[in-house]
Structure 1
Amino acid sequence: MIRVRILDRRLPDPFPLPSFSTPGSAGMDLRAMPDDVLRLAPGDRVKIPSGLAIHIGDPSIAGLVFPRSGLGSRGLVLSNLTGVIDADYTGPLTLALWNAGEETLEIRPGDRVAQIVFVSVVRPDWDIVDDHHFTERGEGGFGHTGT
């Protein structure tokens, strides 16, 4: 159960709360809730409220905020690329948007501009070692397997 606090009076009416669009959806759409229509010229960055605050509460869960793929293909992405919502964060979900495209984009109140995916978090302990066991890959790094 994720606790949600509504911060914008336009939620949940006329704009619905985040939900899964299809039975197979991994993410729930987040809406931009600016006071008025915003125009983002190419290269512009803006922080827009989502109208919500959440409290996950369970340290084995985190929320990851991604751009929506359709808008991302037009250049609207998150300026931090992926947002991480920690289990103990209780503040507003603010969407840091960046127009990385070549055309001016309009963001209207209620537009679905991002999505949140809840994922399991593994919290490992460190095992300090002097060396690792040899693997077939070994220490090959960036591009070592070719293109």
Structure 2
Amino acid sequence: MAKILVKKLDPSIELPAYKTEGASGMDLMAFIKEPIILKSQNSCLVPTGIAVAFSNEFEIQIRPRSGLAAKNNISVLNTPGTIDSDYRGEIKVILYNHGKEDFLINNKDRIAQMVLAPVIKMNFEETYELPETIRGEGGFGSTGK
């Protein structure tokens, strides 16, 4: 298990936790003084009240909660959002309301989930030719429906 340092920006904040043994993500909760009304077809930035530090072998991905998406049409706008290992600020979540109704966000509402993921760095090697494949340069929809 990877070690993640977490800083609570307020003593009242509950730390994220795995809800079940098989869960891959921890729920993030809103940390807000006043409720936020997320208007239909709009986005907002929701603070969580926590900051983290972890090894540069990892990133934290911020993903939608399936229940919010299925029941309320609420998603994370930049799915998955990335928390880089060198970021030390508060984790904030960009939520988007795909629905037709406004959505109310209250303090401590579970708004997203965070997943720790390994990072594999790449090195570019410039070339004038790429190896041939069956697909070639075929783009969007080129492999069928």
The question of a shared fold, defined as TM-score above 0.5 by the shorter chain, is answered with yes
- 2:135/2:143 contact within 8 Å kept: no
**Hey, what does 2:19 align to over in structure 1?**
21
Give, in whole Å, the separation in 1 of the partners of 2:8 and 2:136: 50
**Hey, what does 1:59 align to over in structure 2?**
56
Query: How far off is 1:117 after superposition?
Result: 0.9
**Hey, what does 2:11 align to over in structure 1?**
9
Residue identity in the other structure for 2:129: D
Query: How far off is 1:69 after superposition?
Result: 1.2
Residue identity in the other structure for 2:6: V
Aligned pair 1:124/2:126, yes or no?
Answer: no
- Equivalence map 1:58-77=2 (5 Å): 58-73=55-70, 74-77=72-75
Provide, for residues 126-146 of structure 1, a one-character-per-residue CA deviation record: whole Å limited to 9, x for no partner.
122221222222222110111
Give, in whole Å, the separation in 1 of the partners of 2:62 and 2:126: 33
Query: How far off is 1:110 after superposition?
Result: 0.8
Give the TM-score of the pair, scaled to structure 1.
0.88
Residue identity in the other structure for 1:103: E
Structure 1: gaps spanning 5 or more residues = none
Give, in whole Å, the separation in 2 of the partners of 1:41 and 1:137: 43
Residue identity in the other structure for 2:9: L
Provide, for residues 29-73 of structure 1, a one-character-per-residue CA deviation record: whole Å limited to 9, x for no partner.
1001111322222123222210100112x2220111011111122
Residue identity in the other structure for 1:111: D
- Equivalence map 1:103-114=2 (5 Å): 103-114=101-112
Question: Residue 70 of structure 1 aligns to a residue in which SS?
Answer: helix
Equivalent pairs, count: 142
Identity rate, percent: 35
Match of 1:78 among 36, 59, 76: 76
Structure 2: gaps spanning 5 or more residues = none
Give, in whole Å, the separation in 1 of the partners of 2:24 and 2:132: 36
